[in-house]
């Protein structure tokens, strides 16, 4: 009986046993199926990733195109509205400004903005400024600088340009008291800012300021004196017209560029203007 049991046991371990062969075959099939399933899973994951990346790239391109379209429209509107109206070089300058700003705005379509390309555009703008033939050219370059700064800040907000932003500026020289007294406080009043804007490119009389601000007599004189005491405007002679100083014009330029750079967010572009709708005048 024991021998019979051993024979049976030996028989069951025989590799030629049909049951063992079938089990081994099933096991091999399962392993192949697992390998196939793993390969299919990898292919599907890769395919899904490609679809996702493609969709993201399409979305990014669509968004970039929308932003670029807005910036180009902003260039046309800004130059038309704020360039010197009567100038023999207006059309030539406008063409050059438009080409430079459109080329700079086009960098937004890149995944990463090259600092060298941006610096080249800055240098080109500075070369144009140095070659400006008239003193009134400052008005046009102030607008172009504001538009350029807005584009750069938009690139930073979209996280496609960092530049030297990571470097902390040295603000140790800022004197809070003098800054508030000589710069911030004089322009913190709406009427005084209107006065400063009014004399940016031409002299104005006391009566003209009265019409612009709606102020009369002593009230208007108070604000004019405040601007004169701060060195932002001066009176040509007693009872004469008022004009802006170099300090006043520089402050106005900085305010304009600052306002332009903060005006729009890339996540919420302003609605397009309908025909006939008036645009808000900037600083």
Q: How many CB atoms lie within 10 A of CB 282?
A: 15
How many helices, marked H, and strands, marked E, lie in the chain? Answer: 11, 2
Question: What pLDDT does 56 receive?
Answer: 58
Into how many domains does the chain fold?
2
Question: Is residue 255 a part of any domain in this protein?
Answer: yes
Which secondary structure element, helix H or strand E, spans residue 10, and what is its range? helix 2-12
Same domain, 193 and 127: no
Question: Is residue 266 a part of any domain in this protein?
Answer: no
Domain that holds residue 147: 64-160
Question: What pLDDT does 274 receive?
Answer: 46
Confidence (pTM): 0.46
Closest CA to 206 of 196, 216, 197: 216
For residues 140 and 143, give the distance between their C-alpha atoms in angstroms, rounded to a whole number.
5
Average pLDDT value for residue range 199-207: 90
Question: Is residue 20 a part of any domain in this protein?
Answer: no
| Residues 161-177: b if buried by 16+ CB within 10 A, e if exposed | beeeeeeeeeeeeeeee
Q: Where are the alpha helices (DSSP H) in 131-216?
A: 137-157, 176-179, 185-187, 190-198, 206-213
Question: Is residue 98 a part of any domain in this protein?
Answer: yes
Query: Cα dihedral angle (29, 31, 34, 40), rounded to 10 degrees?
Result: -70
pLDDT single digits (tens) 120-172: 999 999 999 888 888 889 889 988 988 998 888 888 877 788 765 445 566 77
């Amino acid at each position: 009986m024991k021998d019979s049991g051993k024979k049976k046991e030996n028989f069951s371990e025989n590799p030629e046993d049909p049951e063992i062969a079938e089990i081994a075959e099933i096991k091999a099939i399962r392993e192949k199926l697992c390998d196939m399933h793993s390969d299919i899973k990898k292919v599907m994951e890769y395919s899904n990733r490609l679809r996702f990346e493609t969709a993201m790239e399409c979305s990014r391109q669509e968004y970039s195109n929308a932003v670029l379209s807005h910036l180009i429209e902003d260039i046309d509107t800004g130059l038309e509205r704020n360039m010197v109206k009567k100038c023999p070089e207006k059309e030539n300058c406008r063409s050059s400004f438009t080409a430079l700003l459109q080329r700079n705005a086009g960098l937004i379509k890149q995944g990463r903005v090259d600092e060298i390309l941006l610096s080249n555009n800055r240098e080109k703008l500075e070369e144009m400024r140095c070659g400006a033939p008239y003193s009134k050219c400052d008005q046009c370059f102030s607008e172009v600088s504001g538009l350029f700064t807005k584009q750069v800040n938009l690139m930073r907000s979209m996280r496609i340009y960092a530049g030297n932003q990571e470097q902390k500026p040295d603000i140790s020289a800022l004197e809070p008291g003098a800054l508030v007294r000589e710069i911030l406080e004089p322009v913190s009043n709406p009427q005084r800012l209107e006065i400063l804007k009014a004399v940016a490119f031409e002299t104005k009389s006391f009566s003209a300021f009265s019409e612009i601000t709606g102020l009369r007599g002593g009230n208007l004189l108070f604000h004019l004196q405040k601007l004169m005491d701060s060195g932002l405007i001066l009176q040509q002679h007693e009872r004469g017209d008022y004009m802006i100083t170099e300090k006043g014009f520089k402050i106005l330029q900085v305010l304009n560029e600052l306002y332009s750079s903060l005006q729009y967010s890339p996540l919420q572009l302003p609605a397009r203007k309908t025909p006939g709708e008036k645009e808000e005048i900037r600083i």
